[in-house]
């Protein structure tokens, strides 16, 4: 397929953890390791999401502690499905009916998110690769993937814009790494339906606590173009 030469279509980028699903996948991996490690990982996750510790420092520290095997990852993948945020199915279907392309951009791990994406009918996932050996033991992650560092989500969005030339783009997410993408989209919508982060609430152009509010905001963004 040739690259487009004029702007067309609309892309809605969504974070996954604490947005499409109410869990933070990395925290659920930690939960499997016991209370002490769980608390360590939660503190690191919150530090990264709130912007107090750079993501490129948070990621390797968490993975050095966790080293999750495949069975653990499969269990957490099911939890993503079990904890879909109310209104997600309906909102995504309405956006599709109005010709939006849906893309997940996540600092989570692709193998854990893919079953959720499949259930939601989302074909496009930008998430961190995770590797296991033939025995199912942890064998590393994609440390160079953009969403393992600050500025990664806007980088991915720029690539999508260059490839697709969309007329309208929106981003929906709960964290600082999502807010970083605000300058790359026509509308950034902070989502506080699971966790309302003060920095995001204060700086987001729009902030919602229910998925039912997203469609009308997306329509307004599209009409401005």
Q: How confident is the chain (225 residues) per 10-residue block, as mean pLDDT?
A: 68 98 95 93 86 88 94 97 98 97 97 98 98 98 95 97 96 96 98 96 97 97 86
Q: What is the pTM of this model?
A: 0.93
pLDDT tens digit sequence for 164-188: 999 999 999 999 999 999 999 999 9
Q: What whole-number distance in Å separates Cα of residue 184 and Cα of residue 170?
A: 9
pLDDT of residue 4: 57
The first and second tokens of residue 167, run together, are 């007329």
CA distance 149 to 33: 25
Angular region, 18: left φ>0, alpha ψ -120 to 50, beta rest: left
Q: How far apart are CA 216 and CA 211, in angstroms?
A: 10
In this prediction, residue 80 carries a pLDDT of 98
Taking the CA atoms of residue 178, residue 183, residue 186 and residue 189 in that order, the dihedral angle to the nearest 10 degrees is 30
* Alpha-helix residue ranges (DSSP H) falling in 83-213: 88-97, 110-120, 152-164, 176-179, 198-203
pLDDT at 158: 98
How buried is 183 (Cβ within 10 angstroms: 0-12 exposed, 13-18 middle, 19+ buried)?
Answer: exposed
Give pLDDT, residue 5: 63
Q: What is the distance between the alpha carbons of residues 117 and 88, in angstroms, rounded to a whole number?
A: 11
User: Residue 1's pLDDT is what?
Assistant: 43
Q: Is 123 exposed, middle or buried (0-12, 13-18, 19+ CB in 10 A)?
A: exposed
Instruction: Delineate the domains of the chain, giving CATH numbers in brackets.
Output: 10-223 (3.40.50.1000)
């Amino acid at each position: 397929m040739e690259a487009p030469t004029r702007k067309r279509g609309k892309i809605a980028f969504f974070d996954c953890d604490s947005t499409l699903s109410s869990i933070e996948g990395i925290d659920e991996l930690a939960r499997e390791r016991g209370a002490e490690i769980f608390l360590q990982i939660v503190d690191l996750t919150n530090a990264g999401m709130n912007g107090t510790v750079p993501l490129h420092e948070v990621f390797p520290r968490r993975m050095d502690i966790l080293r999750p095997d495949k069975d653990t990852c499969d269990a957490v993948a099911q939890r993503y499905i079990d904890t879909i945020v109310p209104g997600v199915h309906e909102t995504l279907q309405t956006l599709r009916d109005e010709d939006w392309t849906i893309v997940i951009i996540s600092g989570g791990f692709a193998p854990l998110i893919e079953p959720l994406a499949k259930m939601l009918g989302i074909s496009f996932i930008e998430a961190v690769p995770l590797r296991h050996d033939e025995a199912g033991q942890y064998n590393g992650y994609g440390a160079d993937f953009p969403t393992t560092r600050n500025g990664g989500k806007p980088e991915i969005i720029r690539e999508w814009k260059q490839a697709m030339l969309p007329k309208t783009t929106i981003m929906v997410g709960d964290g600082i790494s999502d807010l970083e993408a605000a300058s790359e989209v026509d509308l950034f919508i902070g989502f506080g339906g699971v966790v309302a982060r003060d920095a995001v609430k204060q700086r987001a152009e729009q902030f919602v606590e229910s998925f039912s509010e997203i469609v009308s905001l997306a329509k307004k963004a599209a009409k401005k173009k």
